[in-house]
Structure formats: C-alpha cells, structure tokens
Structure 1
Amino acid sequence: MDTAQRTIARVETKTHLGPDAQVDDKYVIIEPTRPELTDPFLVLSEDWFSSPGFEWHPHRGLETVTMVVDGVLEHGDNAGNAGALTTGDVQWMTAGRGIIHRELAFRDERAHTLQLWVNLPGKRKLTGTRYQDLLAARRPVIERDGARIDLIAGEVDGVTGPAVNEWPISGAIITVEPGRRLEHLLPGRDRAFLYVMDGRFTIAGRAVRAGQIAWSDPVPDAPVSSIALEAGDGDGRSTVMVYSGQPIREPVAIGGPFVMNTRVEITKAFQDFHAGEFGDIPRQARLKYR
C-alpha cells in the first residue's frame, strides 16, 4: 500500500483573550470563524481557572474532548457522571441530543485544560449522550526509537485508542526526544491538526513552535498518509497534540453551546433547553475534599 506524504497548509499562532468572568486566563487555538477550513474540528481553547470555572451549562450537537494539562478538573453532568481528572487525563463527552454539565477546579484551586469541540454530522447530532473518562494511566502507549505515542483515539501500529466516537477521529499526544524524527501515520481522507504543546518541531518541513498549530488537509486518493515530525535540538523533549478526522462537509450553525446545521435548529435547541427537554439542572454537591 502506498503511503502519501502529507504537507502543511498553514501554521497559526494561538490568540490570547485573557481573563473573563469564568477563567483566570484564556487562549483560543482554533476559532470557529471558518469551519470549512477546520472541519470536523470547531474550537480548541486553552483555559486556566480556579473559581468559578464553568458552572452548569448545556450542549447539543457535538462532542467535547477535554485534556487536563495540569491541576485537577472536577466535572459532573445531569446523566449522573461525576469525578475528578488529573494531569494527562481526558474526558470525551458526546452531547448529542442534549446534556447539562459543569467543569470546575477541584477545591477551587487550579485547573489548566485544553478543550476541543468535534462536530457531528446532521444524522448524529441528536444521538444519545455518552461520557468517557480516558485516564492517562490506562491509555495505550506506543514506544518508538526516541518517541512516545500516547494514544487517545484511532489506531497506530495495530493498537486502538480507548475513545468511542460518533464520527471517526484519531487523537494522540506525541513526545519526541531532541533531534529525533518520527513518521506518524494518519488516514489519508482526514484533515489533521498538530498543536505544539512544548518545545518545537519541524513538521513536514515547516517550523512550528510551542503555542502554534499546523494544519494538514486531506489526501483523498491515499488510504494511508504519513506526516514527518522532527523535534528541535535542545535539552528538553518536544510534545505535540495530533488529531485528525474526515471532513463532514455540512453547513455549520453555532449558537453559544449548541452546534447544529441551521439557525432554525439552534433556536429549537434553546427552546428545548428552556422547556426542560435536556433534563433538570442538577443540585449535585461539590466533590468532597479528601
């Protein structure tokens, strides 16, 4: 089977938004302004928060993927899920037809998160809700010469990540030793992004540093594609978040926490939420201190 070499379409730098009523600091890495260029991904935000964080709020029509960079994230939803996630842990939530949840810093101390919004096709937007804790200690790790692949979703070397997806998505956190090189395989049909969390890389010949995101468009004629990652020289390892997914190629309408295909469907989502169709807002107590 021929493996096509991927190229980089563009490199962008995250945008600093600063503190607001919910967070101590915020950056936006993927903005939902041109969804046709990022399809099936809509938003990637980086947040630091202590109090209040993100109190009870609804979602419909998408999946949220939240990684704890450091600190402790307390979460809960009106389907009865609750718990705390620590450094490296990922929560994968399918909002589907409608869910109400919250994301707080445990003990109001500190949480630093990266949250990705993954779109769903119209026929799956009203699917049932699902919540998955993908704990770092339990995820499969693939060791290569000078590289470590922490697998979240999709398949690498015959190993499958633990995430169950409504739309096929590949996701991994890749750490590479200084000066070492890795050829990472992805489905050719996918659009991919590579967000450098630490250090610096040369990705398919383009220099990308921490805080920057590189985009690679689909290679539709190739079942399998490869993207070259080379870590920069220096004393520390470089880490990159890599996600890919097949473009959905449908209209996108975003209204606050809802993602549908039309504005009429957004209006209906707000009506359903206010009519109690998402269920009650929980009166769930905060997690007890240990």
Structure 2
Amino acid sequence: MAEGILVSNGLIWKQQRYFGIGTLRKLGMGNKGMHGIQTEAHYLVEFFRDKNRRAADPSFPIVHAVSNVICAVVFGHRFSLEDKTFPQLIEACDCIVAFGNSYFYYMYEIFPWASEYLPGPARKAAYSSDFVHSFIRQEIKSHRERGIRDEPQDFIDFYLDQIEKTKNITSSTFEEDNMVQSGFDLFLGGSETTATTLRWALLFMVVYPDIQEKIQKELDAVLSPSLLICYEDWRKLPYTNAVIHEITRFSSIILITLPREAVKDTTVLGYFQSSGQMGVGDSTGRQRSSPPIPSGL
C-alpha cells in the first residue's frame, strides 16, 4: 500500500492529509506568518542585484529559494548556496520530476517489469528517490537525537509528537515510513511546481516587457520601497494579481497529473474506469487507464 500523502488512499491518505494540512497551517502556510517566504525572496532579489545587469542563469537560485521555504517548514532550517548536500538534493528532485515528465515514464508505466531489467532513466529516478528518502531519514534522526520539543518548530517535530500521541491507537498510520514519504511529498510537490512557475513568470516578463512595466509601476505606486511584498497586498495589486493567475493558467508546469484510483465503476466524458483501476491524467486533465506506477518511483 502506498504511503505518505500524494499517492496513498484510504485511511492512510485521510490521516496523513488531514494532519499535513493542519500542521502546515500551524507553521504559518497560507497566512501572514510566512516570514520564510520573505526571507528567501530577499536572498533571491540580492542575487539578481549583485549581477548588476550581467547575464545570469536564474534556474538554480529560484529553485534554491523555493526549496528553502519548504526546508524551513519540514526540517526547521534553510541551506546556504555554499552547502554541498543541498545541490545534490535539488538535482535528485529534478531527476525524479524529469523522469515523470518524460516518455520513458509512459513506457515503464505500460511495461512496469521493464524498470527492473533495463538500465536508464527509471534506474536513475529510483536512485534519486532513494537519495531524497535517505536525506529525510537523516533529518528525522537528528530531530530524534535532539528530543521532542515542548513547542514544535517544524513538520518533523509535529510528526514525532503525533507518533508519540497515537502509539497506542491501533488504527493510527503515524509511523516513520509515512513520515518520510510525507516529507518527500511536501518537499517535491512544494518546490518543483512553484520554481517552474516562477521560471515561466520570468520568461513571460522578458517576452512581454510592456506587461513587466505595468506590474512595476503598480508595485512602485502601492508598496514602500523598503518593504517586501506580503500576501495581504494582493488586494491592493489587482493587475499584478491578475498576471500571476494568467501565468499559472497559461504555463505548462507538469506533463501529467498524479495517479487516481476509482472507488467504483465510473464513466467520465466517455472514458470508462472500473473500480480499483488506477489511471493518470494527461496534460489536458483527462484521465486514462494505466497499470500501477513502478515500485519505488
């Protein structure tokens, strides 16, 4: 049975998702308490300012900034650009996402046995997945050695506390494997899609300088130059807000959606799926039948 949040179902999915959403809210996600986003935005702005109009590849700094927001939430700390492990973590996540967005994924999805015998992208993605899981386990080990805090500071703190609270409940799904997979899901799902959206946003600003100019004028007119933008400012920035929504609508973020499993025989727009059969959505959002995803990917 699948673990974590993204590809699990049944009791595991219900408990892990409910706990995950509640914990993220306690840590400030979705409200004005997300100081970590402003911190990383500051570092990202400084990166561009230091280039002083010189050409630069913004890919890694953007991924670094976005991933650090998730790291602060899940692990309780951020990583510097000089850290040697963090680029490996980001590279592993890129490999996993690249495989999921490739035609190789479709091939291994149709012929899952092939991933066990043929070298190539599937093996590399599986190795990358193992690396990220090992990284998270090491973070959990560090948290355990430090001990459970009276006031949890991050997702792992809250999860360890939840394991202790539910250890005598037979129906509980809170244990280390689900904690590792939930951390993996939060890190991968919360960093790659946001970073990709930001890269698209930069591209559109270059392609449409007139829109970039209008956004800058609105920001200059509404915000103080000494203050970072915060979530509540969206009400005062209707044009900027509209452009952000248009970017998310127009951009191609991922090739396919997460797998889904029908709980009963279902027909949608002429597509039939029997109970218990797994399927994935394509880039149009339509769902098609498929075998299970290869183990470990």
Do the structures match in fold with TM over 0.5? Answer: no
TM-score (norm 2): 0.25
- Structure exhibiting the larger radius of gyration computed from Cα positions: 2
Structure whose residues are more often helix by fraction:
2
Indicate the structure whose relative CO is greater, using CA pairs within 8 Å and at least 6 residues apart. Answer: 2
Structure whose residues are more often strand by fraction:
1
